[in-house]
A and B are shown apart, each in its own frame.
Chain A
Amino acid sequence: MSVTSRNCLPCLVLAGGLLAGCSSDDASAGVSRSAVVANYSANLYAAYSDSVLDEQAFQSDVDAFLAHPTEDTLATARAGWLASRAHYMLTEGARFYDGPIDGPIDGGTNNHEALLNSWPLDEAFIDYATTKDGVVNEDVGIVNMPDLLSEITAEGLDELNGYNDEPENVSSGYHAVEFLLWGQALKDVGPGERPAADYVIGGPSKNPDRRADYLNVAVEGIISHLKAVQEAWGPSASYRVTFEKDANLEHSLTHIFTGLAKFSKGELGSQRIGAAYESKHRHDQHDCFSSQTLVDYERDARGVQAMYLGKYGDNDGPGLDDLVKAADPALDAELKQKLEDSIAAIVAIPKPFEDAIAGDDDSEGRKAIQAALTALSEQGDAFGAAAAAIGLTITVDDPEP
């Protein structure tokens, strides 16, 4: 999603005037580009490290559930799934510049993000599914089709992700696990109601053993992909060292701003919220099965804000805001306000999301969603303006005012 600055002429003038100053670490500005980029990397490394720990904690819930599949252990595993995404969602502003999270793996067609967080997914690619006519088809999905994958392994699931070049054939990642825990959401509102007995040998559904293998292996797969991304941001990892090199700071900052702008406007706004707003279909939301979509969206927005401010957890280090503030204090203040506005707008959407998208455009839910879309779009544009203010180009500007 490209973004365009609103105040093109002032931005361009500022950019021209500041280029020389910005290209070196100007002590008078208080904070150097080098420190900002280093802090960004350190925060991301910490966030991916926490994401690995989150998933490992969740894995013990899954182990307990699979050892004794009861409604109680299932409830614990579901709570564990929600908790497992608390830190990962904070990292999503670091997408869309071919970094470790979503750059092609080994020059191929896959990337870690696609294997971790793809949605929406075709339920019938993973497990049994009920058609809109109420007919249960127990012969579909990887769980029920050993011909598709005889032994369920993390590598096998990764290979089937995007099977037949179809984006909705999602076999791995958080949302596959979400579906395995909750099942299809067949009502207009609320989560799926998969029984724990789906995992009991001799229970009501076919292939409980393969289903259990799938859940177990899918969680292992998430851990391994998170670790790969974490390692790429490790203090001495080649990606990070290159990212932080003085000669690459402008390029790296351009990437950072591009990610924040595109994630705000194009991904969180347009795709995660806008598509569902337009279609009014619950399938078009992020956490369709657990009905916890708005929890994710708030985490996403807070993650973007924290990246701008250079914050993560207890660390409040040199941020992009310090650079922008030195160049254009008013613009920095405006962007900070927009980050607050978008979080507030998302928090103001009545839960659950699938209920809020329904109805007329003047319903409380849809008005709140439209407000969030507007806030995220303006936030994306403001990132473009902020980048221009420090001499970076992530937007196409009008040739004439």
Chain B
Amino acid sequence: MMREAGRILGALVVLTGCSGGATPDQSLAPADPKSGGLSTTLDDSSQAYGNSVSKLDDEQAGKFSLGHSVFSRAWVTAPATTDNLDGLGPLFNARACASCHSKDGRSAPFNASGALLGMLFRLSIPGSADNGGPKPDPVYGDQLRPFGILGVPGDATPHVTYEELPGNYGDGEAYSLQKPSYAIDGWNYGEPGEGLMISPRTGPSVIGLGLLEAVPEDEILANVHPPDADGVQGVPNYVWDAAQQATVLGRFGWKANQPSTLQQTAGAFVGDIGITSSLFRSGTCTPTMTACNSATTGADPDFELSDQAWHAVGFYMRALAVPARRAVTDQVALQGELLFTTFGCASCHRSTLHTGPSDVETLANQTIHPYTDLLLHDMGSDLADDRPDYQASGSQWRTPPLWGLGLLQKVNQHSFMLHDARARGFAEAILWHGGEGTTARENFRLATAPERAALLKFLESL
């Protein structure tokens, strides 16, 4: 099960030396702190995700300012006091981008009383839409909107319950995972379509997206390969680009189902907040939703989000810097990264990618450390949502970037991870890995306590 056992043993010797009070082995070279190359910020405060990349020109700085402002703004029911910010809904998940991406990070999935907050549920029925994507539910469309403006009932109410699943590390130490069960009740517009599939997803942090967008397609596709000895492969998703009217490589979203930050932004505006744009001019009321269809819109005259605001938020998404890696000379954390590689984690969470040309100086031609390959991997039945999304099967997920994740607790005051926030911290996130991640997970689970601690220390330094 443990490949490259020799190297793991080597790491263990050093760790034992440290914990025994001997002189630490200083042989490991410092790590590169510049996780985002020149688009790295040294801010490690509770605002660490909210920094602009440097060297923006005046026009770019202006876009960033406006994008930040619009990102934070709550949209309100039309007509409102402010004519540039109305048109909420009629159905919606949240009123502001920042509701689910608080401080440009990940909002907690639930509030103190257990009500769902920063989580949404994608919906579809079997089959494919004309563009190759999921086939929307005929009554509720492609996502559940629990809320509506006054006079328009929300779609339905989602619920989650958890069951604790006890387990043990190789050395006998106990752990427990919480397994979620989702239910949706109170459908306000009749029963959903036959064979409804739901996929729970939380909003990820929005740092470093411009860097990921600037990674040349060739570099991503170069990591596509047939299954290796551990069964790890990696496949691209190909998705519909609404602006180009073409099928292109997917990069963003939990299933790599979005081709660009600009489309992701417009998609979230219309899907999550109910704000139409020049890319998605139609609202999300389905034909049978009478109250939804007759509500006042904020369209002015054709759609609600000005192109200026849309492009500004899209630019803001691209121009948020990545926090620098910390503890770059800490020998335990550096050993942890070695283990990350020998365990097999780095097969998918690739440490290094390169960006190509960009209109932003500090995004162009950078060596970056996102710890992702931007490809889809089968993560096994425990994590599966059983809802295909373009080429992604019901058990495939895109490798999420890990940069900045060590600051999640500091920025967002929680450590919920994975697509549906079921994991309470790094260790549980690893222990949920299945499918192609099984070998890596077992290497972690069966490792010694100091090795596991070193790996976690490495992750906390990102």
Residues of A at under 8 Å CB distance from B?
A: 1-4, 96-98, 103-104, 107-109, 111, 120, 122-124, 129-133, 135, 164-169, 184, 258, 262, 266, 269-271, 274-275, 277-279, 281, 283-284, 370, 373-374, 377, 393-396, 398
Contact A4 B68, beta carbon cutoff 8 Å: no
Contact A131 B80, beta carbon cutoff 8 Å: yes
Contact B84 A396, beta carbon cutoff 8 Å: no
Question: Which chain B positions have C-beta within 8 A of A2?
Answer: 40-43, 51-54, 321
Contact B99 A166, beta carbon cutoff 8 Å: yes
Contact B61 A274, beta carbon cutoff 8 Å: yes
Chain B, 355-384, CB within 8 A of any chain A CB: none
- 29 CB < 8 A contacts A-B: A1-B52, A2-B42, A2-B53, A4-B55, A96-B45, A96-B47, A103-B45, A104-B413, A109-B102, A109-B413, A122-B74, A123-B81, A129-B81, A132-B86, A166-B95, A167-B73, A167-B96, A169-B74, A184-B81, A262-B43, A262-B51, A270-B65, A271-B69, A278-B66, A283-B84, A283-B85, A373-B61, A377-B61, A394-B42
Most buried by B among A164, A165, A266: A165
**Interface magnitude class on chain B:** 35 or more
Given contacts A2-B40, A396-B324, 19 further A-B contacts (CB under 8 A): A2-B41, A2-B53, A104-B413, A124-B76, A131-B81, A165-B94, A165-B96, A165-B98, A165-B99, A166-B99, A167-B74, A270-B61, A270-B68, A271-B68, A275-B65, A275-B69, A278-B65, A396-B40, A396-B54
Question: Which chain A positions have C-beta within 8 A of B318?
Answer: none
Contact B74 A1, beta carbon cutoff 8 Å: no
Contact A108 B413, beta carbon cutoff 8 Å: yes
Contact B42 A165, beta carbon cutoff 8 Å: no
Contact A131 B41, beta carbon cutoff 8 Å: no
Contact B66 A274, beta carbon cutoff 8 Å: yes
Q: Is B118 on the interface with A (CB-CB < 8 A)?
A: yes
Tell me, in angstroms, the Cα distance from A373 to B59 when the chains sit together. Answer: 11
Chain B, 33-69, CB within 8 A of any chain A CB: 34, 38, 40-43, 45-47, 51-55, 58, 61-66, 68-69
Question: Which chain B positions have C-beta within 8 A of A135?
Answer: 79
Q: Is B312 on the interface with A (CB-CB < 8 A)?
A: yes
Tell me, in angstroms, the Cα distance from A132 to B298 when the chains sit together. Answer: 11
Of B82, B308, B324, the residue contacting A132 (CB under 8 A) is B82
Tell me, in angstroms, the Cα distance from A109 to B118 when the chains sit together. Answer: 15
Tell me, in angstroms, the Cα distance from A274 to B102 when the chains sit together. Answer: 21
Q: Which residue on A lies nearest to B82, using beta carbons? A: A283
Q: Which residue on B lies nearest to A162, using beta carbons? A: B102
Q: Which residue on B lies nearest to A6, using beta carbons? A: B55
Contact A132 B45, beta carbon cutoff 8 Å: no
Q: Is B12 on the interface with A (CB-CB < 8 A)?
A: no
Residues of B at under 8 Å CB distance from A?
A: 34, 38, 40-43, 45-47, 51-55, 58, 61-66, 68-70, 72-74, 76, 79-86, 94-96, 98-100, 102, 107, 117-118, 308-309, 312, 321, 324, 412-413
Tell me, in angstroms, the Cα distance from A191 to B423 when the chains sit together. Answer: 50
Contact B79 A167, beta carbon cutoff 8 Å: no
Tell me, in angstroms, the Cα distance from A169 to B72 when the chains sit together. Answer: 11
Q: Which residue on B lies nearest to A255, using beta carbons? A: B45
Question: Which chain A positions have C-beta within 8 A of B53?
Answer: 2
Q: Nearest-CB distance from A199 to chain B (Å)?
A: 21
Question: Which chain A positions have C-beta within 8 A of B98?
Answer: 165-167
Q: Nearest-CB distance from A274 to chain B (Å)?
A: 3
Question: Which chain A positions have C-beta within 8 A of B86?
Answer: 132
Contact B107 A133, beta carbon cutoff 8 Å: no
Contact A164 B95, beta carbon cutoff 8 Å: yes
Tell me, in angstroms, the Cα distance from A69 to B84 when the chains sit together. Answer: 34
Of A104, A166, A266, A377, the residue contacting B74 (CB under 8 A) is A166
Tell me, in angstroms, the Cα distance from A184 to B82 when the chains sit together. Answer: 11
Contact B68 A97, beta carbon cutoff 8 Å: no
Q: Which residue on A lies nearest to B100, using beta carbons? A: A165
Question: Which chain A positions have C-beta within 8 A of B51?
Answer: 1-2, 262, 266
Question: Which chain B positions have C-beta within 8 A of A281?
Answer: 82, 84
Contact B79 A131, beta carbon cutoff 8 Å: yes
Question: Which chain A positions have C-beta within 8 A of B83?
Answer: 132
Q: Which residue on B lies nearest to A99, using beta carbons? A: B45
Question: Which chain A positions have C-beta within 8 A of B100?
Answer: 165
Question: Which chain B positions have C-beta within 8 A of A1?
Answer: 51-52
Tell me, in angstroms, the Cα distance from A262 to B43 when the chains sit together. Answer: 10
Tell me, in angstroms, the Cα distance from A4 to B42 when the chains sit together. Answer: 11
Tell me, in angstroms, the Cα distance from A113 to B47 when the chains sit together. Answer: 13
Question: Which chain B positions have C-beta within 8 A of A370?
Answer: 58
Q: Which residue on B lies nearest to A98, using beta carbons? A: B45
Question: Which chain A positions have C-beta within 8 A of B312?
Answer: 278
Tell me, in angstroms, the Cα distance from A123 to B74 when the chains sit together. Answer: 12
Q: Which residue on B lies nearest to A120, using beta carbons? A: B73
Most buried by A among B54, B55, B86: B54
Tell me, in angstroms, the Cα distance from A382 to B331 when the chains sit together. Answer: 35
- Which 9 pairs, one residue from A and one from B, show the smallest C-beta to C-beta distance? A274-B65, A275-B69, A278-B66, A4-B54, A168-B74, A270-B65, A2-B41, A166-B74, A165-B99
Tell me, in angstroms, the Cα distance from A184 to B81 when the chains sit together. Answer: 9
Q: Nearest-CB distance from A111 to chain B (Å)?
A: 8
Tell me, in angstroms, the Cα distance from A102 to B92 when the chains sit together. Answer: 31
Question: Which chain B positions have C-beta within 8 A of A275?
Answer: 65-66, 68-69
Q: Which residue on A lies nearest to B324, using beta carbons? A: A396
Question: Which chain A positions have C-beta within 8 A of B54?
Answer: 2-4, 395-396
Q: Which residue on B lies nearest to A279, using beta carbons? A: B66
Most buried by A among B63, B64, B86, B324: B64
Question: Which chain B positions have C-beta within 8 A of A96?
Answer: 43, 45, 47
Contact B62 A274, beta carbon cutoff 8 Å: yes
Q: Nearest-CB distance from B93 to chain A (Å)?
A: 11
Q: Nearest-CB distance from A184 to chain B (Å)?
A: 6
Q: Nearest-CB distance from B329 to chain A (Å)?
A: 14
Question: Which chain A positions have C-beta within 8 A of B63?
Answer: 278
User: When A96-B45, A393-B42, A396-B34 are in contact, do A168 and B73 touch as well, CB less than 8 Å?
Assistant: yes
Contact A165 B117, beta carbon cutoff 8 Å: yes
Question: Which chain B positions have C-beta within 8 A of A184?
Answer: 81
Q: Which residue on A lies nearest to B84, using beta carbons? A: A281
Q: Nearest-CB distance from B275 to chain A (Å)?
A: 14
Tell me, in angstroms, the Cα distance from A130 to B80 when the chains sit together. Answer: 8
User: When A2-B52, A104-B46, A393-B42 are in contact, do A271 and B65 touch as well, CB less than 8 Å?
Assistant: yes
Q: Which residue on A lies nearest to B51, using beta carbons? A: A2
Tell me, in angstroms, the Cα distance from A135 to B85 when the chains sit together. Answer: 17
Contact A284 B413, beta carbon cutoff 8 Å: no
Question: Which chain A positions have C-beta within 8 A of B80?
Answer: 124, 131-132
Q: Nearest-CB distance from B316 to chain A (Å)?
A: 11
Question: Which chain B positions have C-beta within 8 A of A377?
Answer: 61
Tell me, in angstroms, the Cα distance from A165 to B147 when the chains sit together. Answer: 14
Tell me, in angstroms, the Cα distance from A341 to B312 when the chains sit together. Answer: 28
Q: Nearest-CB distance from B98 to chain A (Å)?
A: 5
Question: Which chain B positions have C-beta within 8 A of A3?
Answer: 54
Q: Which residue on A lies nearest to B36, using beta carbons? A: A396
Tell me, in angstroms, the Cα distance from A107 to B40 when the chains sit together. Answer: 25
Question: Which chain B positions have C-beta within 8 A of A269?
Answer: 65
Q: Nearest-CB distance from B288 to chain A (Å)?
A: 28
Question: Which chain A positions have C-beta within 8 A of B58?
Answer: 370, 373-374
Question: Which chain B positions have C-beta within 8 A of A103?
Answer: 45-46
Question: Which chain B positions have C-beta within 8 A of A129?
Answer: 81
Q: Which residue on B lies nearest to A396, using beta carbons? A: B40
Q: Nearest-CB distance from B46 to chain A (Å)?
A: 5
User: When A4-B54, A278-B63, A373-B61 are in contact, do A97 and B45 touch as well, CB less than 8 Å?
Assistant: yes
Most buried by B among A166, A262, A269, A370: A166
Question: Which chain B positions have C-beta within 8 A of A274?
Answer: 61-62, 64-66
Contact B81 A124, beta carbon cutoff 8 Å: yes
Q: Nearest-CB distance from A219 to chain B (Å)?
A: 24
